Structure 1
């Protein structure tokens, strides 16, 4: 039974990675990736912090390698996925997952982007600590609202509950 559960978890993770990688560039506003936040919150609620973070890391690396997106793909997704998953695990509330995404991506991710982009571009010209914050907050808030609207219906389905039970065994 253990091997089958691992295969199911990896399969769900692969599907979430594919959805994130495919949807994020389609519904992208310059400097904002609301679909990344949709998938971060959904993954946090469905799979928990570890798998949601793995999804965010893999998708960020794929975006950087295949789509030429700068390291903002990494800083903009990973902190939100991790914090959303940790807060959801704490109380099992989608609102806490949303709060984790908004704080993780909107605040922590945006602030972590400054030193990363200084390193990446080799300059501080036109960069200051809060340069990414408005767009990261905008993407995280709008994406989290969309995720909540999706999760309201999705969490009631037996398939979602079955998959969630696979990741959240008590």
Structure 2
């Protein structure tokens, strides 16, 4: 079943990269709610390892193509990890949602500070990224939960979810 997980991961990476032009500048950050939507979907369907890999690949491609900054890495990867890990431990969509928002909006924002100041050479306050990262993650996670709630009512969800989690 690794083929199905890799296929879904590839599709989510493609979605994240294709939608990379849709970003919202909030303060010093370029917020990308599609990344957070993908994080939650990957965290729920693929688990923490694959969701971090998906977030890393999207961030890397965005940075290389000029549609993202180095700040894409800490927020997206921490949010994806916490979302996937919490959902694995407590399989509820609400837990995945909270994991993405806290992982990106708080932890990712705090890690973004040294990335911005030490690596990117930008002046920023310690908590400057919390509000923009939080807004972006709330929007993206909300969209993902709506999508996943619709999917839970379909045969596709049952087949994919059972197949992906019992492999």
> What TM-score do you get using the length of structure 1 for normalisation?
0.90
Q: What CA distance in whole angstroms lies between the structure 1 residues aligned with 2:120 and 2:71?
A: 12
Offset at 1:39? 0.9
RMSD: 1.5
**Which residue matches 1:144?**
141
Q: State the Cα distance separating 1:103 from its structure 2 match.
A: 0.5
User: What pairs up with 1:20-99 in 2 under 5 angstroms?
Assistant: 20-26=16-22, 28-30=23-25, 31-99=30-98
Tell me how many residue pairs correspond in the alignment. 163
Tell me whether 138-147 or 160-169 shows the greater mean CA deviation.
Answer: 160-169
Q: Cα deviation per residue 1:58-112 (whole Å; 9 max; x = unaligned)? A: 1111111112522111112000000000111111100000000000000000000
Rounded to whole Å, the distance in 2 between the matches of 1:88 and 1:74 is: 21
User: In 2, Cα distance between the equivalents of 1:122 and 1:67?
Assistant: 18
Tell me whether 156-165 or 140-149 shows the greater mean CA deviation.
Answer: 156-165
Deviation at 1:119, TM superposition (A): 1.9
4+ long deviations beyond 3 Å = none
Distance 1:91 1:164 in 2: 15
| Structure 1 unmatched ranges of 5 or more | none
CA distance in 2 between counterparts of 1:150 and 1:19 reads: 14
Paired with 1:122 and 1:141, the residues of 2 have a C-alpha distance of: 28
2:160 to 147, 157, 163: 163
Q: TM-score, normalised by structure 2?
A: 0.91
